Amino acid sequence: MIQKLIDGIRRTGAPVVVGLDPNLSFIPQELVEEARQAVKNRDAVYEDDLEIAAEAVWHFNKDIIDAVADLIPAVKPQIAMYEQFGIPGLKAFWRTVRYAREKGLIVIGDVKRGDIGSTSASYAIAHLGRIEVAGSSSRVFDEDFATVNPYLGSDGVKPFIEVCNQNDRGIFVLVKTSNPSSGEFQDLKTEDGRPLYEVVGEKVEEWGRLSMDGEFSNVGAVVGATYPEQGRALRKIMPHAYILVPGYGAQGGKGSDLVHFFREDGLGAIVNSSRGIIAAYKKDAYSKFGPERFAEAARAAAEDMIEDIQGALRGAGIEIR
C-alpha cells in the first residue's frame, strides 16, 4: 500500500494530506440549513439533530474533496469528529471514506487505535480488513491506512500488521506527536539516556521489516511538524518508515521546518493540514471567499501549502522523483 501512496505523491508532486476533521463551527450555516431540509424531506415526522449534523458534515466533506482531489494524493478523516454525532456521524465517516476512494484518493483513517490480542485484531479488521459473516466477507470502514497507538507494545501492533499484509493496507504508528504535552511521556529518558520516542522509533523500524513494500514499509510513523529536530533524528532511526507529519499550519509547523523529515529524493514524508485548509475561509488570508465559497478557499489554502513545502524542499536541493 505504501507504494500506492508514493505513486500519488509523485503524480501530484504534493507530499500533502488534507485532514477531514469537520467541526460544526467550520460548516457554513447555509449548509446546515440545507442538511436540515434534506433530513426533513426524508422523514417529515422525525427530525434528529444528530442526523442533521451528520448530513451537513457529509456535504461539507464532499465539497472539500471535490475542490482538492486533483491537487493531493490523500485525505485523513479523524474519526472522533464523526463519533461525536453518534451513529449518523459514523455513517458520514463511512460515506466520506468511500467518496474519497471513488475520487482516486488514498484514505488515512486517523483512528489512533491500540489494544491487545483479539481486540486489536478487531480494530484492524474494522478499518483495514474484512469481516467474515455467514460464509462471505465484507469490508467495513475500508481505509487504506490507520493510525495506531503503540503504547501497549507489540501485542497491540502486530495484529494490525497481519491484517495489513492480508489486505495490502498500512499503518502509521504514533512516535512523537505534535501536541505541546507530548513530551510528558514521549521525551522521558530510558535507562541508557535516550528519549522514549527514539525507542518507539526503533520498534517501528523493527515492525516495518514484517511488511516491506519496495524501499519503504507499510508500517509508517507519526512525527509532529512542531518537533523538527526530533524529526531529523527519527528519519535516521527509521530509514524504511514513511512519516506522517501533523502540526503544519494551525499548530505552527511550516515548510522550512520539515526538510529533514524527507529523504534526498523528496520521498519519506507526507504532511497533514486539517483546519488550516478545511476552515480556510475563516482566515484573513482567504476571507474574500466567504462561507459560501468555503471549498474554493480550501483549494487556495491547499495550493499555498503545496507551494510552501515544495519551495522549502527546492531550497534544500531536494526534488521529488
Catalytic residue set: 112
| Beta bridge partner(s), residue 223 | 176
CA distance 219 to 173: 7
Antiparallel, parallel or unpaired: β 212-213 and 216-217: antiparallel
b/e for 276-296, b at 16 or more Cβ within 10 A?
A: bbbbbbeeeebeebeeebbbb
Please state, in angstroms and rounded to a whole number, the distance separating the CA atoms of residues 316 and 271. Answer: 17
Q: At what angle do helices 294-315 and 49-68 cross, to 10 degrees?
A: 50
Bridge partners for 213 per DSSP: 216
Taking each helix axis as running N to C, give the angle between helix 29-42 and helix 49-68, from 0 to 180 degrees, rounded to the nearest 10.
Answer: 120
